[in-house]
Structures are given as C-alpha cells and as structure tokens.
Amino acid sequence: MLRQTLPMGLFVVASAVSSLAADKPAIDYSGFNKDVRPQDDFFEHVNGQWIKDTPIPADKTRWGSFVILAEESRDAVQAIIDELSSNTRLSGGSNGQKIRDLYRSYLNEARANQLGLSPIAADLAAIDSSTNKDVAKEWATAGRLGIKRPISFWIDQDSKNSTEYAVYFTQSGLGLPDRDYYFQDDERSKSIQTHYQILLTKLFTLAGIDQAAAKALQVYELEKAIANHHWTRVENRDRIKTYNKMTIGEVRTLLPNFQWLDYLGISDLDHETHVIIRQPSFFSGLQEVLTNSSEADWKAYYQARLLIDAAPYLSDDFVQASFDFFSKKLGGQKEPEPRAKRAVDLVNGVLGEVVGKEYVQRHFPPAAKERMLALVGNLRKAMAESIDNLAWMDDATKAEAHKKLSKFTTKIGYPDKWKDYSKLEITADDLIGNLRRASEFVHAREVAKLGKPIDRSEWFMNPQTVNAYYNPQMNEIVFPAAILQPPFFNLKADDAVNYGAIGMVIGHEIGHGFDDQGRRSDGDGNLRDWWTESDAEAYGERTKKLVNQYAEYEPLEGQKVNGQLTLGENIGDLGGLTLAWRAYQKSLDGQTPAEIDGYSGAERFFLSLAQIWRINTRPEMIMRRLKTDTHSPPKFRVNGPLTNFQPFYDTFGLSDSDKLWRPETDRVSIW
C-alpha cells in the first residue's frame, strides 16, 4: 500500500546520481543544430545535433539529461552496494545487511530459474479454492501485499484539515496503463489490446493453468468493465471533485454488497469513522461489475494480477514475457536492462532512505545546499514581486497569495530524520518473500500514522532521486540531493546558467503552489477557496488560453498534447521560466554580465534552460506518455513557455516572420 498521490514533480525519472557529473561543461555547444535558427525552434537549435548523433541504447526507451543522470546514479549506488557486499562483518538486521541481501536476492538469477513458479504456487492454489464470498477479504489481503485490486487506499494529510491524517480510497485494478487503452479503436490501440491478451495467455500457460486463452479473454473483459467506470486522468486532477469525505456508513451505500467491515479490519482501518472517496461514481459502478461477473471471472483476474505483479521476479520465461509487453510493446525498449541494474533499482525502491543516507555522506557537498538556499530565497522574492505587480489580481487575493508564499517550507538535499527500517526482514535467498515483507512493512508504517500528529519532516522522494516536487498539503518545495548537479546545478558555472536550469526548476515547483490545482490550497495546506470571484475568473481565462496552445502541439503525426491533462505542469513551466528570469535579473544588480563563449548572459540563461530538456524518446514511449503523463513532451516544455515570454523575444530578436512568434494578444502571462 504505497502512497498514490505523488506530489507535483518536475519529471518522471527517478534514481541516484554520481558527483562525477561535476566535470561536465556548463553548456554543451557541440549538441547545437546551427542549421535551425533559435527564432524558429529553440529546442532543436540547442539540442538538435545531439539528438541526431545520439542513439537511444537498446535497453532504454529514452536517453537524455535526466536519464543520463539516472545511469550515473546507479553507478553511485552500485558502488555503495559493492562495498557493503565485500564487508564480511555486517551484523544481521543492520541496514548494510539489508541493502546487500536484497540486492543479492534479485541478482541470483540461477535461483530464480531453479524456483520457477514455486514462490507463488501456493497463492495461485489458494485463489483457485476461494469463493465470491471472500471478495473483501481477498482484496484487502492482496492490497497489503501490494497486489493490484479494483480499489486501493493510501494515508495522507486530510486536504481540508492538514493537521490530521486521513484515508484516501481510489480506483485501481487495471493491467493496461490507463482506462482509455480499453476503448480506443485505432490500429495501434487494437494491437496493444491484442498483445495484452497474448501476455495474459502466456502467463497462464507458463503457470500450467488450463484454458489459458479463454481465461485471458475473461480477464480482459472484466478489466474493461472495471475501466468503464474509471474516471479519466483529467477528472482525477481535480482536487475539489476528488475530495469526498464520507462516513463508513455512507461508503457502504456506494458498494452495498461489498463486505466493507471485513476489508477495513484486514486493512487495519477498522477504527476509522470517515474516509475520503476520490471517485464516488466508480465505487457505485463497481457494484454492477461485481454483480455481473462470475466467480470464474474473478478467479482468473486474481491469478492474472498475481502473475503480472510477480513475473519480473520469477524465472527467465516469466521475466521475458513481462518485458515483451510492458517494456517492448508499450515503450519500444529493444532489450532488457542488465539484471544488476534492475537489482539496484529494486534496492532504491525498497530501501530508498537507507541507501540515501549512505549516498549523501559521499556525494552531497554542503556548499551545494548553501547555494541552493540562496537561489530559493531569490526565487521566492521574485514570486513576491510578481504577485505585487499583477494587474489582473485584486488586493484581497494578493494578500492571501503573499500569506501562502510566506508559509512555504523548503527542503534541500536529504531528510533531517531518516525512516526506520529495523522491523523489515531481508534475506539473501527469498526475493518474493522480501518484496512481500517490504509491502507489509510499508503498510504498517502508513496506517500507524492515523491519529498521530503530522510528520512534517517526512520526504516523499529519496535523496538519490533526480527530481523535485511541491506538496500542496505540506505547502513545501523539495529538492533532493541528486538533482543538484549539472546540467541542473553547477557550482562552477556562472549565474546565467544556474538560474536558467536549477532556477527554472525552483520556479517550477513554486509555481505548482499557484497552478490550477495548487492554488486551491492555502498557506496551511488546506483545500480552501481564497480567491475573489473576479480573480478566479481572470485566472481561468489565462489557463484556457494555455490549454488551447498546448493542444495544438503534435509530437507525433496525428497525436497531439492533451492541454487539459498537462495544464498544471505547463503552468509550472511558464511560472518557472518567469520567476527564474526575474530572479536572475535581480542578481545582476543593474550590472551587465560579461559575454562567455560569445554569448550574453541573457542568451546563456535561455540556452541553459533548453539544455536540461535534451532527450531522445522512442515513438512508443511518446505515445504512452501522451495518454498518461501530466507533463508535456520535452520539446514543448522549452518552446511552449518561450513563445509566451517577452524577454526571449527581446534576447533573440524575434519578429512576426519567425516560427516561434506568437502575437502579443495570444501570449499567456500568469505570474
């Protein structure tokens, strides 16, 4: 039972990184495509030659700034693991022993092949002997082990009372990445639907389950029926509509034939009097699915979910079947990553802060934190000035906006208090057991929060993560240690480079506090409307224009960006650019910076910003992200904000004959 509502982040790549990146050049001019003018396509001008010359490795779906840091990251964590593995004096139950033995349990491919299906054979048999009367118990037990079922829950601060923890229930249960995959009838979507059923058939066959193809169809049709009641990703972004606090009695009326008391008891939630239901119509619709589906349908579904979740950790034939669909078909990946790299990822995922504590001791210089604190302070001042200068916002809303900004918390590098993993048992010869104990460990840790004060020291990303986030309930911006290196942050670079890169990242996260959803919370993290009606309307008019702008971008022929799904991140990008530029100008204190390599400070600011989004992506992954990712494709995270930003026009002398030109009346300025 992992936390489901991830904070609003910068990107989706997460891993640990190596401080060796510090020797990289501040701006890589060799990657420029000078055949393309900056006024026509700034992303291509800065990154085009690099994209042309740099193939995507066979074991990757993308390759670029974030992913390269992720690769270097695993080298850093691998070094930690190798050092621990050579230590013969690690005591049982120590953090070092847990890291070493979790890694070994995954790396031991020979043992996985020897065990075959046996780690989950008893579970498959138990499903076969279950009955429909056990639905609630089965769903709750599976949920504790991290196995997907139609409903799931997590623990977080109550969005309308941020001083208390609450239980959030949400829709789940699908094997494909999103509900829309089941209903779209274009050629590519039909191919994915067919190959998903091929995967299910393959897994049933490998498990020795009879009538594999027929059961695969049963599972697919049941998932499609569940998907029919799922809310869309755009609907799920709405923090107002997805906040529905109910008594347990009210919840039982949504799904009356479901044994809620059994579910809550097994899930350790039997003392809760209220929970928050994110999608009420899904829960009421699920009643229809339960009524119309047979016991055989559900047994096939349970077995399929178990096989899908376990496949990457079983013998090679299961691993290959999982890879062929989820990585190759859905993402375009040509071959699996080496097992050792996957083992490192598992250690990062299960023992993230244990590894993180080791990581920061070796790779996070105190000077980086000091410089970041100064940068964040300057960006916050820039935001305060921006609020003051808004012509479309009245004084009452400005006062509330300032109040919220003043209450922002900033976390940099790593937690002040580390998570305690002492109760988690890890052994070197029981991979599936390790994963199940880890799921139970997380479950116990999360439900233990209920009724206790909010732990404001908690982090929701590891220090070795290449990312950053804004958490609306905490009203905090968080920058893990791993992102504080080139090309994002460079202690050796001039201010223009750092404000264009990490300054944009900082501004982006501050901007999330005031994007279309973040703006709905106040400075204490409570979901509350603090806007005057006229200001909310003016804000909405601006965001509508931004939705329409991005909806015109077409990263693949016939496939456009979903401007509504990506709105929050697009606001974050535009705000990040605006705040970073304003803070950079303030840092100059009226002075003109010297040219470096023939480029002015202003030019280097924009070049640095574009460089952090340098990436090559396989078409299959672009398609998947267009359907599921709240971030726009990288090219439009550069060109999109710049077309709305007058200082970019001034710096590069754009005119109405240039391709990036946008008439002033069509440009969007929010913050």
Domain boundary, last residue among 313, 338, 372:
313
3-state secondary structure of 304: helix
d(CA 605, CA 611): 10
In 424-477, where does DSSP find H-type helix? Answer: 431-447
With a cut of 50, say whether residue 340 has pLDDT above it. Answer: yes
d(CA 336, CA 223): 27
Closest CA to 70 of 57, 85, 52: 57
Which pLDDT does position 87 carry in this prediction?
86
Which pLDDT does position 594 carry in this prediction?
94
96 located within any domain: no
37 located within any domain: yes
DSSP, res 338: P
In a shared domain, residues 367 and 440: yes
Which pLDDT does position 505 carry in this prediction?
96
In a shared domain, residues 533 and 653: yes
In a shared domain, residues 376 and 492: yes
In a shared domain, residues 309 and 358: no
In a shared domain, residues 372 and 499: yes
As a three-state string, the secondary structure of 168-184 is: EEEECCCCCCCHHHHCC
Q: Kindly report the CATH number assigned to the domain that includes residue 402.
A: 3.40.390.10
Which pLDDT does position 368 carry in this prediction?
87
337 located within any domain: no
d(CA 280, CA 274): 14
Cα-to-chain-centroid distance, residue 456: 21
User: pLDDT digit string (tens) for 241-252?
Assistant: 999 999 999 999
3-state secondary structure of 510: helix
> Sign (positive/negative) of CA torsion 495, 496, 498, 504?
positive
In a shared domain, residues 277 and 363: no
Which pLDDT does position 133 carry in this prediction?
79
With a cut of 50, say whether residue 646 has pLDDT above it. Answer: yes
DSSP, res 452: S
In a shared domain, residues 307 and 371: no
What confidence tier does 2 reach under pLDDT thresholds 50, 70, 90?
very low
Closest CA to 273 of 262, 264, 281: 264
In a shared domain, residues 273 and 379: no
User: pLDDT digit string (tens) for 374-415?
Assistant: 999 999 999 999 999 999 999 999 999 999 999 999 999 999
Closest CA to 232 of 243, 219, 220, 241: 241
User: pLDDT digit string (tens) for 529-549?
Assistant: 999 999 999 999 999 999 999
d(CA 415, CA 159): 23
With a cut of 60, say whether residue 6 has pLDDT above it. Answer: no
90 located within any domain: no
Asked if the bond preceding 619 is cis, omega within 30° of 0, the reply is no
409 located within any domain: yes
* Strands of the 409-413 sheet, one edge to the other: 8-9, 469-471, 476-480, 409-413
Which pLDDT does position 322 carry in this prediction?
98
DSSP, res 513: T
In a shared domain, residues 377 and 521: yes
331 located within any domain: no
In a shared domain, residues 55 and 171: no
Per-residue b/e over 471-510, b at no fewer than 16 CB within 10 Å?
bbbbbbbbbbbbbbbbbbbbeebbbbbbbbbbbbbbbbbb
User: pLDDT digit string (tens) for 110-156?
Assistant: 999 999 999 999 999 999 988 877 899 999 999 999 999 999 999 99
Q: What is the pTM of this model?
A: 0.94
User: pLDDT digit string (tens) for 412-469?
Assistant: 999 999 999 999 999 999 999 999 999 999 999 999 999 999 999 999 999 999 999 9
Domain boundary, last residue among 313, 337, 371:
313
**Average per-residue pLDDT for the chain:** 94
Which pLDDT does position 134 carry in this prediction?
85
Mean pLDDT of 200-207: 98
In a shared domain, residues 132 and 73: no
Q: Is 173 left (phi over 0), alpha (psi -120 to 50) or beta?
A: left
Provide the token pair at 407.
């209450």
With a cut of 70, say whether residue 624 has pLDDT above it. Answer: yes
437 located within any domain: yes
What confidence tier does 3 reach under pLDDT thresholds 50, 70, 90?
very low
Q: Kindly report the CATH number assigned to the domain that includes residue 261.
A: 1.10.1380.10
114 located within any domain: no
For 469, the domain range is 8-77+351-666
Task: Count how many domains the chain has.
Answer: 2
What confidence tier does 11 reach under pLDDT thresholds 50, 70, 90?
low
> Percentage of residues in the chain with pLDDT exceeding 90?
91
The 10 Å Cβ neighbour count of residue 547 is: 18
Domain boundary, last residue among 283, 313, 343:
313
CA–CA distance from 447 to each of 139, 147, 256, 451, 483 (Å)? 17, 17, 25, 9, 31
In a shared domain, residues 298 and 355: no
Counted residue by residue, the chain has a size of: 671
DSSP letters for 78-135: HHHHHHHHT-TTPPTTSHHHHHHHHHHHHH-HHHHHHHTTHHHHHHHHHHHT--GGGH
